[in-house]
Structure 1
Amino acid sequence: MRIVSGGIQHETNTFSHQPTTLADFERDSGCGPDFSGGQAVFDRYRNTGTIHGGYIDAADVLEFDLIPLICAKAQPSGVVESTAFDTILNLFLDRLSETPAVDGVLLDLHGAMVTAACDDGEAPFMEAVRERVGPDIPIIATLDLHANITQRMADACDVIIGFDTYPHVDMRARGREAGELLVRMIRGEVQPVQAYRQLPLLTMPPMQCTLREPMQSLMQNVFRMEDEPGVLTATVAMGFPFADISAAGVSCLVTTNNDAALAEKKVEELAGWLWDLRDELQPQLTPIDEMIEFAATHDGPIVYADGSDNPGGGAPCDGTVVLRALIEAKFQNAVVGILHDPETAALAHQAGVGATIEARVGGKTDDRHGTPIELPAYVRALCDGHFVHHGPMNQGVVGEFGPMALLLVGGVEVVVSSNRKQLLDREMLRVIGVTPEHRRLIVVKSAVHFRADFGECATHILDADTPGIHRPDYANYDYQNLRRPIYPLDNVTVDFGG
């Protein structure tokens, strides 16, 4: 049995002015500038907490030949340039054509990609693969919980399996599930029938977190549904609201074994559960001054999640609003990170540990996340930025920040890096000499993913009320292409399951 795998992953923030280029994919994919498949993918992802880690697990257990063709990804940012998308798609299709006797396809996609040519970035990829392999070869796609799933996507694949967790700690399990289900399809043991629903509903990242209510209880209901006779898998996609496209928002799918009526009944039931939670899924934010007052009188470590500047959602990750407030308040024993500031990192490396540099920190990308802070800063530590994820998310995957520096300004430590990455793993601070458990306050450039690892040590977690292109506040965005009416922007009446 021969199964090919691969795909392109990008979460596109259309409110970002930074286009996503082919060079971004070449830098972030980790399999060489030629997007090597085959052994390069096995070497990078075997025994890791990733979708391809799960594909490889399934291949090992079920003894099928897995042939990874390409695994391309770039950090979330603005619209993907057509040259980048076309190059990666054509590489995948060319390698697919060169692979004989393919029995099935596993597509490792995100679901919230927007390209210069198409708001629904994944659908053309899926459709091109379907056209190449024909109608009889089964295709399963794995998508992120933030996917803006469309009917085109659902029609192009036999099955879509979405992540069940946010933070995304179940990627390996979902990849394994996809591989196992595809084998059952190839053997003729099951005949999946998939039903899809899109809700007139937008939600923001903080309350999409499956470690807190109401998502925690919702997902328990989803798991119980998946245990019912005839149900093969169920997916809740909470959507990515920072994409001004028609399809942005919540959707769900249920796949049954050759029972279309059951699939329709169950997806309507699932949509109803989601709709009933619409008011509970709206976030509450804590202003900076309230956070500082709270942190000064409570034991740490307290985590302040600056999700508005979250690079995991396309933000520049060099915002200075919280840092400036902490410096002005003369706050003690705080660390802010990780700011994407190659210029400051290079200056610190030139000066060396123990030097004091005249720094111009952050605020270099745009004017929506704060202005640069000019100040003397003590260089406490330097490193090359090479680390391995130790936390539950992406466990085992090698990461590269490039040259990093730990700066000290009064009682505030600032971590700067040369590459833009979300702070979601304590190892990302340990690599530069910071022990997060020993800090009173940790300001993370992250919305939710940090909870997977930092949640174990945090005494309190507060969602930041800060400016930025990933701010969880609908008033921050001028939607022009989003379908309307949609809740909570509009009054909407709908009766799922009625």
Structure 2
Amino acid sequence: MGQRQGKPYRVALLGLYHESNTFIARKTTFEDFQNSHLLRGEEIIAEYRDAYHEIGGMLAVMDREGVEVLPLLFAEATPGGTVTATAYQRLLDEMTTLLAGTLPIDGCLVVPHGAGVSEEQRDMDGHWLGKVRELVGPDVPIVGTIDPHANVSRAMVEATDALIAYRTNPHVDQRDTGRIAGELMIKCLNGTIKPNQCLAKPPVTISIEQQYTAAYPCTLLYEEAAVLMQWPGVLSVSVVLGFPYADVPEMGTSFLVVTDDDRQAGVAVAQRLEALLITHRYAFVGKLETVDAQLAEMYRLEKPILWLDMGDNVGGGSLGDSVVLLKALERDGRLRGFTCIFDPVAVTVLRKYERGAQVKILFGNDYSLGLSHNPYAAKVCILDKVDGKFRETTPRHGGQVQYDMGETVLVETAAGNVVMIHSLRVPPFSLSQLTSFGLDPAGFDVLIAKGVNAPIAAYGTVCHTIMQANTPGVTQADMTTMEFRVRPKPLFPFEDIST
């Protein structure tokens, strides 16, 4: 049992979670955290105890072992631009104040993302984890989870005893990863292990569309990691694919190995994976297909088709307002599609009309024209007006249970395409986003989802064909066309590393 001298261990639980796209002009504010998940104390337990989220896995282990969990703060915002200095400082001040008020503690469970960037602290996760370490001291174990889209820094590793990345993308193993972190924490508390972390950062970054872990080439890395996990003394092997939309010195793929006080084994495992990635680096570049080529191919493919809008990937920070793929379906006119569009201004206009009304409306943005804002003009029929709240009860990317896309209006265009226009940004991680409001996903030829791999966990259950579209936007798949200033060099595929 989790006890010391007859008393339960006291373990703090806290997290600050954001995937920051530094190429987006709009900053992520404190309000964005409020509109997503800003939870304190028992709110964290209520939200995640039964969820498919890492916190749920951590809690399950702590409950089983009789550990006293001290839930402090969990702040998460939908991926977006750099976090403002004001928002980060406000969250950091609250987190550290709450943590200081719980001391002394026996351990600390942490939930960073690993790709957080704020205006003044570019390594946001390394910074707040370092502050946690300063408060609890060098002897209190700090164990946590990270997203495989992290850009892991030395500061993150030095501040913690063990960080474990999810093994799947889409991320459907978050609860299990939290359980692994919880088990390591218990072993730390009982003194049965002494974690040692080893970080390797090869000069390679993986193209976003090649980060589907269930398929080649990612399977090369994960299968080797599974073999290396069997080495004596190895506690965890994390393949950290990296987040290519953050211009930071830590950008790129990493391998993070946790051993039981065996630095030599950790280095050897990390170097094996590093060499494997470098050898097969060209397989991770990928081949991009145009929208028109994919549209021409759709007629012979089994329906429904999941059409992934990579340039407007909400899970990578995009707004979710692109009409590029919708316009392609509209021009063609032979396939019936569905898409979500984030446009709070259009919602404000549409909510004035009754169901069944025929309305001329401007909505979304046509990124193919390269303009700052060029909405799509269409005559639509209003199908429904809903509050935008829905729940997900099965393991899906992100592990969240409750979603809120704000006031939402469902419309149908003259070409027969259905558009869900919503007022709060929500990534397409759940089919409940459709079914909760009376839409049958199987009733469409094409389901447009604004993502790259993450929506597959949800939409893949009904879609017989999956296509990744090379669309324009701030999450465009070809990262080599983006202007980086501080990324590491040399870094493949930007530079040749053969020498």
Structure 1 residue 382 displacement after superposition: 2.3
Does 2:43 match 1:40?
yes
1:437 corresponds to = 442
> Is this contact kept in 2: 1:347–1:357, CA < 8 A?
no
User: What secondary structure is seen at the aligned counterpart in 1 of 2:35?
Assistant: helix
Does 2:361 match 1:353?
no
User: What secondary structure is seen at the aligned counterpart in 2 of 1:25?
Assistant: helix
1:483 corresponds to = 488
Match of 2:110 among 103, 107, 118: 107
Deviation track 1:436-457 (CA, whole Å, cap 9, x = no partner) reads 1221111111111111121222
Structure 1 residue 118 displacement after superposition: 2.0
> Is this contact kept in 2: 1:319–1:371, CA < 8 A?
no
2:4 corresponds to = none
1:173 corresponds to = 176
Does 2:35 match 1:23?
no
> Is this contact kept in 1: 2:312–2:321, CA < 8 A?
yes
**Whole-Å Cα distance in 1 between the matches of residues 452 and 440 of structure 2?**
21
1:220 corresponds to = 223
**Whole-Å Cα distance in 2 between the matches of residues 42 and 481 of structure 1?**
39
Residue 346 of structure 1 aligns to which amino acid in structure 2?
T
2:5 corresponds to = none
1:374 corresponds to = 377
**Whole-Å Cα distance in 1 between the matches of residues 373 and 286 of structure 2?**
23
Match of 1:2 among 6, 10, 29: 10
**Whole-Å Cα distance in 2 between the matches of residues 78 and 447 of structure 1?**
18
**Whole-Å Cα distance in 2 between the matches of residues 198 and 295 of structure 1?**
40
Deviation track 1:248-278 (CA, whole Å, cap 9, x = no partner) reads 1101111111211111111111212222231
Structure 1 residue 318 displacement after superposition: 0.3
Q: TM (normalized to structure 2)? A: 0.94
Structure 1 residue 315 displacement after superposition: 0.8
Structure 1 residue 390 displacement after superposition: 3.5
Structure 1 residue 239 displacement after superposition: 0.8
Does 2:497 match 1:492?
yes
User: What secondary structure is seen at the aligned counterpart in 2 of 1:279?
Assistant: helix
> Is this contact kept in 1: 2:403–2:426, CA < 8 A?
no
**Whole-Å Cα distance in 2 between the matches of residues 396 and 126 of structure 1?**
23
1:469 corresponds to = 474
Match of 2:300 among 297, 302, 305: 297
Q: Relative to structure 1, is the Cα distance of residues 265 and 304 closer, same or farther in structure 2, using a 3 angstrom cutoff?
A: same
Pairs within 5 Å for 1:378-417: 378-393=381-396, 394-395=398-399, 397-409=401-413, 410-417=415-422
Structure 1: runs of 5 or more not aligned: none
Stretch deviating more after TM superposition (272-281 or 57-66): 272-281
Stretch deviating more after TM superposition (279-288 or 478-487): 279-288
Residue 449 of structure 1 aligns to which amino acid in structure 2?
A
Deviation track 1:363-383 (CA, whole Å, cap 9, x = no partner) reads 299956872011210112221
**Whole-Å Cα distance in 1 between the matches of residues 42 and 329 of structure 2?**
47
> Is this contact kept in 2: 1:30–1:44, CA < 8 A?
no
User: What secondary structure is seen at the aligned counterpart in 2 of 1:280?
Assistant: helix
2:460 corresponds to = 455
Structure 1 residue 299 displacement after superposition: 2.6
**Whole-Å Cα distance in 2 between the matches of residues 423 and 59 of structure 1?**
31
Stretch deviating more after TM superposition (132-141 or 394-403): 394-403
Residue 121 of structure 2 aligns to which amino acid in structure 1?
C
Structure 1 residue 306 displacement after superposition: 0.1
**Whole-Å Cα distance in 2 between the matches of residues 136 and 57 of structure 1?**
24
Structure 1 residue 428 displacement after superposition: 1.0
1:285 corresponds to = 288
Q: Relative to structure 1, is the Cα distance of residues 311 and 94 closer, same or farther in structure 2, using a 3 angstrom cutoff?
A: same
C-alpha root-mean-square deviation of aligned residues, in Å? 1.7
Residue 75 of structure 1 aligns to which amino acid in structure 2?
T
1:82 corresponds to = 85
Pairs within 5 Å for 1:114-125: 114-125=117-128
Structure 1 residue 123 displacement after superposition: 0.9
Residue 340 of structure 1 aligns to which amino acid in structure 2?
F
Does 2:232 match 1:229?
yes
Residue 399 of structure 1 aligns to which amino acid in structure 2?
Y
> Is this contact kept in 1: 2:329–2:336, CA < 8 A?
no
Stretch deviating more after TM superposition (428-437 or 257-266): 428-437
Structure 1 residue 127 displacement after superposition: 0.8
> Is this contact kept in 1: 2:103–2:136, CA < 8 A?
no
> Is this contact kept in 1: 2:15–2:74, CA < 8 A?
yes
User: What secondary structure is seen at the aligned counterpart in 2 of 1:308?
Assistant: helix
Stretch deviating more after TM superposition (281-290 or 397-406): 281-290
Does 2:324 match 1:316?
no
**Whole-Å Cα distance in 2 between the matches of residues 14 and 51 of structure 1?**
26
1:13 corresponds to = 21
**Whole-Å Cα distance in 1 between the matches of residues 463 and 475 of structure 2?**
23
Structure 1 residue 400 displacement after superposition: 0.5
Structure 2: runs of 5 or more not aligned: 1-8
Stretch deviating more after TM superposition (283-292 or 66-75): 283-292
> Is this contact kept in 1: 2:52–2:394, CA < 8 A?
no
1:161 corresponds to = 164
> Is this contact kept in 2: 1:204–1:282, CA < 8 A?
yes
User: What secondary structure is seen at the aligned counterpart in 2 of 1:234?
Assistant: strand
Residue 139 of structure 1 aligns to which amino acid in structure 2?
I
Deviation track 1:152-173 (CA, whole Å, cap 9, x = no partner) reads 1111111111111111111111
Residue 421 of structure 2 aligns to which amino acid in structure 1?
V
Deviation track 1:75-110 (CA, whole Å, cap 9, x = no partner) reads 111111111111111111111111133001111000
Deviation track 1:339-377 (CA, whole Å, cap 9, x = no partner) reads 101122233332122111111010299956872011210
Does 2:446 match 1:446?
no
User: What secondary structure is seen at the aligned counterpart in 2 of 1:67?
Assistant: strand
Q: Relative to structure 1, is the Cα distance of residues 188 and 122 closer, same or farther in structure 2, using a 3 angstrom cutoff?
A: same
Structure 1 residue 13 displacement after superposition: 0.6
Structure 1 residue 426 displacement after superposition: 1.0
Identity rate, percent: 29
> Is this contact kept in 2: 1:321–1:370, CA < 8 A?
no
